[in-house]
Amino acid sequence: MCGRFSIYLDELELRERFPNHDISSLKDLKVSNFAPTMEMPIVVESQVVNMRWGLIPSWSQDKSFANKLINARGETLLEKPSFKNLVNAQRCIVTSNGFYEWNSQTKQPFFIQPTNTLLMNFCGLHTFWMDANNQPVNTFTIITTKANQSMSDIHHRMPVILEPGNEQEWLSRKNNFDVIQNFIKPINDSEISITPITKVT
């Protein structure tokens, strides 16, 4: 599950990870609590496009899908009508510096961030939907996988986090889903740190 994340991005690392993209709309982006239905620049194969979080399939009659499809289970992407036609050519990257998760038992919030880098890139899928005024609405979803050992005490799911260096391979439309399917896995425990967030009383 990934329902909230933070965006405080390091410009130098952005340029290193996305050397072929115009990252001007990303480098000054600062949002401490990015939530579903909010809009942000999303990295696709050759550009950066503003999109709304919560995927609305192109065939949907209305936008009610948005709140239901903020995440996509990596194990069933090829089975779901909302995702199976997107996996080969409509993959994206959601840039972040970490995400939030809540322990389902104690309700304690945690912040999960990378240990060796400043940038945490989530694997995603994107599409566009035509609204009632015949205007395209670009939307995205974040792919999730089973939790690694570090996360498993908090939640049984986590976002798919790309290892540094795999960005272009994930984004390239030349690679069908079979080529990059191995990216959909929990990141190594050593690659993330988990910090409890002090509750305000």
pLDDT tens track for 117-129: 999 999 999 998 8
Q: Which residue among 2, 92, 123, 167 is the active-site one?
A: 2
The pLDDT score that the predictor gives to residue 106 is 87
Q: How confident is the model at residue 2 (pLDDT cuts 50, 70, 90)?
A: confident
Q: Please give the average per-residue pLDDT across 102-123, as a whole number.
A: 94
Q: Is 39 a residue of the active site?
A: no
Reply yes or no on whether 2 is catalytic.
Answer: yes
Confidence at 146, pLDDT banded by 50, 70, 90: very high
Q: Which of 66, 89, 31 is nearest to 137 (CA)?
A: 66
Spell out the CATH class of 5-196: alpha beta
What are residue 138's DSSP bridge partners?
Answer: 128
pTM: 0.95
What count of Cα atoms within 13 Å lies in the side-chain half-sphere of residue 108? 12
- Looking at every residue in the chain, the average pLDDT score rounds to 93
**Among candidate residues 42, 44, 39, the one with its CA nearest the CA of residue 54:** 39
Name the active-site residue from 92, 101, 123, 167: 101
Tell me the C-alpha distance between 38 and 77, whole Å. 23
What's the CA gap between 113 and 14, in Å, rounded? 16
Question: What would the pLDDT profile of 183-195 be if each residue is shown by its tens digit?
Answer: 999 999 999 999 9
Query: How sure is the predictor about 197, in pLDDT bands with cuts at 50, 70 and 90?
Result: very high
> What was the pLDDT predicted at 199?
65
